Structure 1
Amino acid sequence: MTGAAPAASATTVGVVLAGSVLVFWQSMMKGIRHAADDLHVDLIMRSPSDGASLGTQANVQLQMVDYLVKSGVAGIVLAPEPLQGVKTPVSVTVPVVLVDRGSNDYLSVSTVETNNFEAGKTAARSLMNILHKGSTVAVLRLAPSIPSTTARENGFLSVAQEAGWNVVINTYVGYDFRMAGETARKLLAGYQGHLDAAFAPNETTAYGALQAVESMPPERRPRLVVFDWRPEFLDALKGGSLYADVVQDPYRMGYLAVETLVSTLRHRPAPPDQYVDVVTVTQGNMNEPAIRAVIANYNP
């Protein structure tokens, strides 16, 4: 980054996520704030509108990172979205810990995330007992530029291929709630023939897919497996319109990212990759204490 940065504060860290409205980011912010309280550091948080970096505000995160460096933060936690027309990797003058996803666009000391390829395989395996060779499935992709969801989609597809499922829909539906819902409805309702299962890899696609499935006649509804959590998904699991939900722990990711950054600032080495486990929530296990503990972190 160009220009001399002011001396970084030993007690203030910056945070730039990829949004603030999604329940996922709200849960992560809870973990970040809790870690900051426990570790006695101050926070400066600057996050774009959800999906802004993928739309008309290219590189808006980079502007926020630059602002934080000039504000004197000691380090930055960043959930990176792709950069456009910028020489990469960008070297920030303070330590950077990536959260939720890796990126080749920034130099970083560590990445805290879900093992997304394996988690995508986990989502597919939740269907193994009810699907057979030749079953028809749909994959409602998010966007080609997001490595975390791409890895989930590819993990799901790898199991589908091994199991001999017929992937009849494999389409990007977008990162906007309205767009994802409309596209999912057209794809699922418009498929000529019986669709056995569908997979949606993040909160927006999951919400759109659930709306689409619930608008279909019960006898035509595919078994829906989604990623991420929203409070309304609990009723969908109870009612059977949602078959399974692979739930990340963004609270834990946020906490661990701040913990890792502070540890780095205190001259303790950090592992380059840190994975946070997922849980698969179903109608049968949604009341188990371990499951409820993860879900509770998504509540306001």
Structure 2
Amino acid sequence: MRRIVRLLLLLLYLTGSVPSAHATTIGVVLPGSSLLFYQVMLRGIRQSAHDQHVDLLIRSPSDGESLNTPNIQLHIIDYLVTQGVSGVLLAPEPLRSDTQVSIPVPVVLVDRANTDYDSVSTVYTDNFGAGGKAALSLIPVLKRGAKVAMLRLAPNVSSTTARESGFLSVARREGWNVVIDTYVGYRPHDAEVLIAEAINAYPDHLDAIFAPAEPIAYGALRVIESTPTDQRPRLVVFDWRPEFLDGLKRGIVHAAILQDPYRMGYLALAALARTLRGHPPPREIFVDVTTVTPKNMNDPAIRSLLANYAR
């Protein structure tokens, strides 16, 4: 009798009468995969997919390709839709201004907002506020008239632009002089070269530097650690790499502003899964940042957050 039941269940499964454990597939498109930030975000997405009992179809361009090849993410989304995904989780890159976007499945944005897409929810950092927090970490050690450098990523990336604006709003309020304000790009090696050129070209002493994204922060760290100790500006980095912990211990990094990409990815996937089940999430879900300094880097809560970045 049991054998007959098993054979009947198998027949029902093969004919589609019994749903599989993972009947829903969600497409995931990020800007790239080499940055640790997106690797950690993807871990959160995968864990959330497991908990929500959905499958994933992940297709992302190589890092920076979205900025060099307009609308490549949109082409990837079109492919995912033809493969039958029920929804799309997207960390959006800029589109051409004349592009008409129509996605026939629900879209949840993660990491940054984007008005090109009609999304049901956006899960991200308050980047303007986070840039302000980066500047606030310097208030105890900088006087009015301090000379600071702003190392920018790219003009068409909304998240980093907001961070830069948030930092500058506090810098101007405090009366600091922004003596370097330049774009250095999103490729770590290229950024390092441009950062070195910008710093070496400035004839006076810099008091502080703000590096608002992982590739810039890594490049800035490498440049600053090669500078004589008594000439080093205070470096505030955004995002995280294991090298930054050593920088904090050695006094090269003044502070690190950490997003929580694991939580962002987890919440974004969960929001999309709930949408597909008829329970729309809030239009915006903000995930707080944490300021890490040499004084608090060993606190249990900080250590727990940094554990998500372990390779």
Give me the whole-angstrom Cα distance separating, in 2, the residues matched to 1:52 and 1:86: 19
**1:190 offset after TM fit, Å?**
2.2
Alignment correspondent of 1:123: 134
Give me the whole-angstrom Cα distance separating, in 1, the residues matched to 2:108 and 2:67: 21
Alignment correspondent of 2:79: 67
- 2:94 paired with 1:82: yes
Equivalent positions of 1:158-197 (< 5 A) are 158-197=169-208
**Helix, strand or coil: the match of 2:194?**
helix
Q: What code does the residue aligned with 2:38 have?
A: W
Larger Rg belongs to: 2
Match of 1:24 among 20, 37, 58: 37
Equivalent positions of 1:119-268 (< 5 A) are 119-268=130-279
Q: What code does the residue aligned with 1:36 have?
A: A
**1:131 offset after TM fit, Å?**
0.4
Q: Encode CA deviations 1:156-185: one digit per residue, 9 max, x unaligned.
A: 000000000000011110011111100111
Give me the whole-angstrom Cα distance separating, in 2, the residues matched to 1:78 and 1:143: 19
Match of 2:290 among 262, 279, 297: 279
Give me the whole-angstrom Cα distance separating, in 1, the residues matched to 2:88 and 2:227: 45
**Helix, strand or coil: the match of 1:198?**
strand
**Helix, strand or coil: the match of 2:253?**
coil
Alignment correspondent of 2:10: none
- 2:29 paired with 1:33: no
Give me the whole-angstrom Cα distance separating, in 1, the residues matched to 2:65 and 2:118: 22
Alignment correspondent of 2:13: none
Q: Encode CA deviations 1:134-156: one digit per residue, 9 max, x unaligned.
A: 00000000000000000000000
* Residue ranges of structure 1 left out of the alignment (5+ in a row): 1-8
**1:10 offset after TM fit, Å?**
5.1
- 2:98 paired with 1:52: no
**1:188 offset after TM fit, Å?**
1.4
Q: What code does the residue aligned with 1:33 have?
A: R
* Residue ranges of structure 2 left out of the alignment (5+ in a row): 1-21
Mapped contact 1:188–1:213 kept (Cα < 8 A):
no
User: Normalising to structure 1: TM-score of the pair?
Assistant: 0.95
Q: What code does the residue aligned with 1:62 have?
A: L
Give me the whole-angstrom Cα distance separating, in 1, the residues matched to 2:208 and 2:99: 42
**Helix, strand or coil: the match of 2:180?**
strand
Alignment correspondent of 1:113: 124
Q: What code does the residue aligned with 1:70 have?
A: T
Give me the whole-angstrom Cα distance separating, in 2, the residues matched to 1:135 and 1:167: 8
Cα RMSD, aligned residues only: 1.1
Match of 2:26 among 9, 13, 35: 13
Mapped contact 1:189–1:212 kept (Cα < 8 A):
no
Alignment correspondent of 2:9: none
Mapped contact 1:199–1:224 kept (Cα < 8 A):
yes
Give me the whole-angstrom Cα distance separating, in 1, the residues matched to 2:77 and 2:296: 41
Give me the whole-angstrom Cα distance separating, in 1, the residues matched to 2:98 and 2:265: 27
Q: What code does the residue aligned with 1:101 have?
A: R
**Helix, strand or coil: the match of 1:160?**
helix
Mapped contact 1:189–1:216 kept (Cα < 8 A):
no
Relative to structure 1, the CA distance from residue 97 to residue 170 in structure 2 (aligned partners, 3 Å threshold; closer, same or farther) is same
Alignment correspondent of 2:111: 100
Q: What code does the residue aligned with 1:234 have?
A: L
**1:87 offset after TM fit, Å?**
2.4
Give me the whole-angstrom Cα distance separating, in 2, the residues matched to 1:286 and 1:91: 45
Alignment correspondent of 1:295: 306
Give me the whole-angstrom Cα distance separating, in 2, the residues matched to 1:10 and 1:133: 60
Mapped contact 1:10–1:74 kept (Cα < 8 A):
no
**1:189 offset after TM fit, Å?**
2.4
Q: What code does the residue aligned with 1:78 have?
A: L
**Helix, strand or coil: the match of 1:243?**
strand
Q: What code does the residue aligned with 2:55 have?
A: D
Q: What code does the residue aligned with 2:60 have?
A: S
**1:58 offset after TM fit, Å?**
2.0
Give me the whole-angstrom Cα distance separating, in 2, the residues matched to 1:85 and 1:114: 25
Mapped contact 2:234–2:252 kept (Cα < 8 A):
yes
Mapped contact 1:197–1:222 kept (Cα < 8 A):
yes
**Helix, strand or coil: the match of 1:246?**
strand
Give me the whole-angstrom Cα distance separating, in 1, the residues matched to 2:304 and 2:161: 27
